[in-house]
């Protein structure tokens, strides 16, 4: 299988327009999420920020995080953090998923990442968002959110095609995987160290025997659920 190599073509075009509209100091944020389809644990959002000073040469081996092995992601994650102007990852736990739904949780996680960037003086002026749905701007009466009103461009397979989104993808995946491995120590039967909270035979078997714990997304239709809740 040929794995697509991302480029900077789209992000550089967006940066050029931003610099024309905002000024030479304009910054673009590449955004990707991980954990959206998991049964347990947080949904996580990475934002990588680039500007006119960002080197054209991005980390060797950078790809969509889903196309890289865990070892390959670990080998390049620090380069993914060092290459852009800044990079931050935010998380929204299962209680937020249950309360706000997955879109509200994505916005909450993105808000946590955005605030880290803003505190360091690196808030982006526009967003390049992986996918087809602009959840960044999808505030509602129930989920007003705390995300700024920024121009958003959605890009199908942005994590595979755009270097800035791929960097955000790798960092978010690595950080969430570490978090799930740590959480697994308190709930070893669910095998989160291996499945990272996603559906797997061992995870479903544990759900059928133990029921969900407080770190599962209780509002979801969890497979295998039949036992009592394990708090």
Spell 44-55 as b/e; 16+ CB within 10 A means b.
bbbbbbbbeebe
Backbone torsion region of residue 224, taken as left when φ is above 0, otherwise alpha when ψ lies between -120 and 50, otherwise beta: left
Pair of tokens at residue 207: 């759900």
Residue 4 has pLDDT above 60, yes or no: yes
Rounded to whole angstroms, the Cα distance separating 25 from 125 reads 10
Instruction: Give mean pLDDT, residues 78-86.
Output: 97
**161-209 pLDDT per residue, tens:** 999 999 999 999 999 999 999 999 999 999 999 999 999 999 999 999 9
Q: Indicate yes or no: pTM above 0.85.
A: yes
Mean pLDDT of the chain: 93
Beta bridge partners of 43: 92
**8-39 pLDDT per residue, tens:** 999 999 999 999 999 999 999 999 999 999 99
Residue 139 has pLDDT above 80, yes or no: no
What strands lie across the sheet with 28-34, from one edge to the other?
86-92, 43-50, 28-34, 126-130, 152-155
Residue 227 has pLDDT above 90, yes or no: no
Residue with tokens 């120590």: 185
Rounded to whole angstroms, the Cα distance separating 103 from 109 reads 10
Beta carbons of 36 and 43 less than 8 angstroms apart: yes
């Amino acid at each position: 299988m040929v794995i697509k190599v991302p480029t900077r073509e789209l992000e550089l075009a967006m940066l050029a327009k931003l610099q024309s509209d905002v000024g030479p100091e304009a910054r673009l944020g590449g955004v990707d999420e991980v954990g959206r389809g998991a049964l347990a644990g947080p949904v996580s959002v990475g934002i990588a920020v680039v500007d006119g000073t960002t080197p054209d040469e991005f980390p060797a081996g950078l790809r969509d995080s889903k196309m890289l092995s865990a070892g390959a992601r670990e080998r390049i994650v620090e380069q993914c953090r060092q290459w852009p102007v800044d990079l931050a990852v935010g998380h929204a736990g299962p209680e937020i998923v249950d309360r706000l739904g997955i879109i509200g949780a994505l916005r909450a996680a993105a808000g946590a990442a955005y605030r880290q960037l803003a505190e360091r003086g690196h808030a982006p002026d526009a967003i390049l968002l992986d996918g087809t749905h602009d959840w960044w701007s999808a505030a509602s009466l129930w989920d007003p959110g705390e995300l700024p009103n920024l121009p958003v461009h959605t890009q199908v397979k942005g994590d595979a095609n755009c270097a800035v989104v791929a960097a955000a993808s790798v960092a978010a995946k690595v950080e969430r995987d570490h978090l799930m491995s740590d959480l697994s120590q308190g709930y070893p039967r669910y095998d989160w160290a291996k499945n990272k909270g996603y559906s797997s035979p061992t995870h479903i078997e544990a759900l059928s025997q133990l029921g969900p714990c407080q770190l599962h997304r209780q509002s979801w239709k969890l497979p295998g659920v039949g036992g009592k809740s394990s708090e």
